[in-house]
A and B are shown apart, each in its own frame.
Chain A
Amino acid sequence: MNTPRSLLLPLRAFLLAVVLSGGLLRADSPRLADCSSSELLPQTVVAFAEASHIAQAIETLLDHPLRQRIESLPAYDEVAKSGSLEQFQLGVTAFEASMGKPWQEAIKTLTDGGVTVAADSSSQGIAILIKSSDVDMLQRLRGFLLALRQMGQGKLSAVEQGDYRGFTAYALSKELKLAILDHWLLITNKSDLGKSIIDQYLDRKNESLHSSETFSIARNERDAQASDPAFVSAYVDVATIRSSGAAKALSNEKIDNPVVEVLLGGVLANLRNTSFVTAALQADITGVQLKLSSPHKRDWEPPREYFFGETQHAAAPSLLEVEDRLFAISAHRDLSQMWLRSGDLLSDKANDGIAKADTQLSTFFSGRDFGEDILGALESDVQIVGKAQDFSEVLPRPAIKLPAFALQFQMKTPDETTSELRRVFQSFIGFLNVVGAMNGQPQLDLGMETLGDAKLVTATYVPSRDQRDSMDAPINFNFSPSIAFAGKRIIFSSTTQLARELVSEPEVSDSGNVVSERATRNTDILFNANTLKQVLDDNQSQLVANNMLEKGHDKQAAEAEIGLLLELVGMFKDATFQLDVSDDELLLDVRLHVDGE
């Protein structure tokens, strides 16, 4: 790395500080044999994260094709030229000078035994443990960190230090202390925690995290599951956190937000009962994957059977496939049960809202009970899909181009439900027309279509004479609300086009391998970044205009900022979120895939 001339002076001062610090701080002699970080930490640790293979992760990052794409962005050039990176470069140069080797090599050696971060409930402290095969490098790192502290203070003063059982602790700041225990470098903000780690290191008498029963179970489960070694693995003692009252949200049986309840009610129920959660983070050239796992029992599910399945765990249906898919969500949720049991699930405030909505919706549905009769007419398979709309051949063309979206359910008794919901949909469109007319909005024209065995009821906005060829029509023209009936399927769609596309797809019956793969899948979410970029591209001029209004930018600056946003979105492929529930485990798998090409 080139060292700019302007960096040399502070660098020289820094190196002098390193030499002085190093001179003061020679390490103690090695004492004990190899051990793991969990053996050094007390049993009262409630959160533990261990990063290994750091060198490999750095290599992956540095060699990643995205790095080249990021560095080729005009915005990157601007940041580099602006001098914002100067301080960072100074830090890297000083680090390399202190370590005596390039930073990648130094980090590789320094962390070859792993890095651990732990939070302790007893001392309310945090500890960082870095294990290296090269004690000299650890001492150099200590010198670097202490010199950095002195640079921050602006003077070369003696470092505050104290001894404990033959080890010297140095003050990195008012709170942070640092000590080297042979191959370990320990940094902590609580002296009691530091002392307990040193005691354990020397005596091996006290019970450690390693000997904790819960931690052992968690570690064994993690090892059993891991197909590849994780870059970061973590453990959280949820039971202790819960009993300490630190996470109040976990102790509330009822929550305020119905949407959060539908999406995550089951996960929160699990966290109210489980003893621990483990996490594993993996990264490779295709992206990152985070797996969160927790023990699970059926006894913990009531009153949330709507989320998991009444008699046995129920599986989510497949994700809906459409062209230019933006997102898809599939889940098992008995919405009728959720609505009817909302008193057990939601707070009083949320329940008041549900009660009001229930009255209004029951009136709207001709006196039929919304929870029991309307939602109850649908199976528990919820499928939602969104897609980018193509307006290239469409007039009037809305100025703001929104994605289309649709909900698909299975009807329990199609013969009864079809006519009922068709009538309600027609009333709903009539209602929209009356309200719209009062507010000067365009009117919807009802239509009927038959597509194979499917029947569609459509509603299309009628443009006024001067709007027919408009290229910047109002936002309404993104919508042509439709309802479709195909066999057992009922589809509520924001556009007729999407409803047609969905009814044209054959009805999927999960079977064979597909079933076994998805047997435990409770929730499945996919988000496609390529389509998101397409949607943003379609609305680029609107985004630029909004940027100008919100930031006061001129057009050029706004275009550059939005251009950068689009470039960044274009670097991702998709994101997935999968929740699997079995009789003894709840597993959340989140993946983010990048576009490496």
Chain B
Amino acid sequence: MDRMKPLDPQWAWQTFAPSNERPWNRALAAHLYRRAGFGASVEMLDEAVSREPAEMVRQLMAQNFEANEFRETADQLAQTILASGDAKKLSAAWVYRLLLTPTQLLEKATLFWHGHFATSAEKVNDAHMMWDQNRLLRQHALGSFPVLVQSIAQDPAMLIYLDSAINRKAHPNENFARELMELFCLGEGNYSERDVQELARCFTGWEVKNKAFRKNRYQHDTESKSILGSSGDYDGEDGVRVVLKQPFLELFLARKWYRFFISDEPEPSDELLQPLANVFREHDLQIAPALEMLLSSNLFFSEHAIGRKIKSPVELVVGTLRGLSGTANTQVVSSGLLQVGQGLFYPPNVKGWDGGRAWIDSSTLLGRANLIGKILDDDVTRFSGQKLTDYLGDRGITTALEAIEYFEQCLFALPLDDSTKSRLSDTFSVTAAEPERQLRSLLHACSSLPQYQLG
């Protein structure tokens, strides 16, 4: 992957201050909502513009837990699905949360950790365990990384997914130990095979009985272990603590956040990421301070970030709906996401989703357009509880061109050129028969544009 031209790290991580050259406007507010969440209506963008950007980021960061009422409702939905025992439908309950949560950053961070600590229901085959893991990720999504890692190390779904449930002292299973260092905390090249073997011994005896985590002391290796330069009679918790102390950890996480929140490519230099990594470590590996710095930065609000990511299927679909205050059949959305490569609770492997250009190929591009088309074809799909015609009509939009310009503000990361707008507005006539169908087709056509795939 290409390395980016050197940027001044000091400038990059300074808090963004609007200026005449780079004013705080709907476009920047929409960028913030797209990255720190999934999207926002024009009304929400106007509300955001009436505040300072740093204040908006602080507000998003402050929403690091769900209001009781929403949590109860969303959990009730999950319980409904769990009661029927259909694990395939569980992701519909998460889609509902993604579409309607008032705490967008919390949900976006939960999605990030789901890809980071990737666990698939395909192998776990237990909806309750998957849901419990999802709640765990949400609980710590913006909290303490050490607590999150310790919790995930004892999470039944993770133990089953990485075969730790059969980790015996006679035959230590190295899967979880390896991924803990390679994928979760340190990255490739920052540990040795010997470290993997020794760390695996720490987790011996950790197993799942009756769907719950438990330590089987008869199967635990109590001998001394030597991991990453430290030695002792470590158990699993001690092993995790040793890994968390490693200096490569903060840079590894900073790089992952950069790719998720700022830009797919080019690859950032260590020098550029170091200030972000430092803040993470200085705050005892608390996640929120690092993300606040990232989301408030000059770099985040610069041309190095805006439109520099390819929308994931979740960002594409949920963003389209949230941008227009839309609601839809969540089961249609969740099954559609699975078909286009981002099934919630169904990451492809332990590395999670590759993201970036991997989201797009000739098949998935068509699949993405078809999924949006299917959702828009469904009469259940509503916009603030209304037809799209009425929703846009209430905002004074009566022509195809006005509708395109409205979509441009709340749905597109980059402005559309005049020829594209003109081509689209010539093709769709809102005043023709079936204006609702025409408007939905126009929205579908907009969402199928190459520009729309950029977030």
Contacts and interface: CB of A to CB of B under 8 A. Distances in A.
A545 B381 contact: no
B80 interface: yes
A541 B81 CA distance: 12
| Most chain B Cβ neighbours within 10 Å, of A440, A475, A548, A554 | A548
Contacts of B85: 474-475
Nearest to A476: B85
Interface in A454-476: 464, 472, 474-475
Contacts of B283: none
A546 interface: yes
Contacts of A472: 79, 83
Nearest to B93: A549
Contact of B381 (A440, A546, A552): A552
Nearest to B385: A557
B330 A552 contact: yes
Contact of B83 (A475, A548, A550, A554): A475
Contacts of A149: none
Contact of A554 (B89, B100, B211, B329): B100
Contacts of B89: 549
A398 B80 CA distance: 11
Contact of A545 (B77, B210, B331): B77
Given A549-B93, A555-B73, A400 B330 contact: no
Contacts of B96: 548-549, 552
A399 B330 contact: no
10 contacts: A400-B80, A400-B83, A472-B83, A542-B83, A545-B79, A549-B93, A550-B380, A552-B328, A553-B327, A555-B73
Interface residues of A, number: 21
Interface string A473-492: 01100000000000000000
Contacts of B211: 440
B415 to A, nearest CB: 30
Contacts of A552: 96, 99, 326-330, 380-382
Interface of A: 398-400, 440, 464, 472, 474-475, 541-542, 545-546, 548-555, 557
A546 B330 CA distance: 10
A550 B329 contact: yes
B224 interface: no
B84 interface: yes
A549 B95 CA distance: 9
Most buried by B among A464, A542, A545: A545
B210 A549 contact: no
B408 interface: no
Interface residues of B, number: 29
A557 B329 CA distance: 14
Contacts, number: 63
Given A552-B99, A557-B385, A545 B327 contact: no
A472 B81 CA distance: 11
Interface string B189-232: 00000000000000000000011000000000000000000000
B387 to A, nearest CB: 12
Contacts of A549: 77, 80-81, 89, 92-93, 96, 329-331
Contacts of A400: 80, 83-84
A555 B92 CA distance: 15
Given A549-B92, A549-B331, A554-B100, A464 B210 contact: yes
Contacts of B14: none
Residue among B73, B77, B83, B126 with the highest chain A CB neighbour number at 10 A: B83
B31 to A, nearest CB: 26
A440 B92 CA distance: 23
Q: Which of B73, B93, B328 has the most CB of A within 10 A?
A: B73
B330 A550 contact: yes
B76 interface: yes
Interface in B329-351: 329-331
Contacts of A557: 385
Contacts of B327: 551-554
B83 A399 contact: yes
Contact of A541 (B76, B329, B331): B76
A341 B312 CA distance: 57
B381 A399 contact: no
Given A399-B79, A550-B330, A552-B381, 6 more contacts: A440-B126, A475-B84, A475-B85, A549-B92, A550-B329, A551-B327
A282 to B, nearest CB: 36
Q: Select the residue from A474, A549, A552, A555 with max chain B CB neighbours within 10 A.
A: A552
Nearest to B375: A552
A553 B211 CA distance: 33
A551 B79 contact: no
Contacts of B84: 400, 475
A472 B89 CA distance: 18
A416 B24 CA distance: 87
A561 to B, nearest CB: 12
A549 B93 CA distance: 7
B93 A398 contact: no
B65 to A, nearest CB: 19
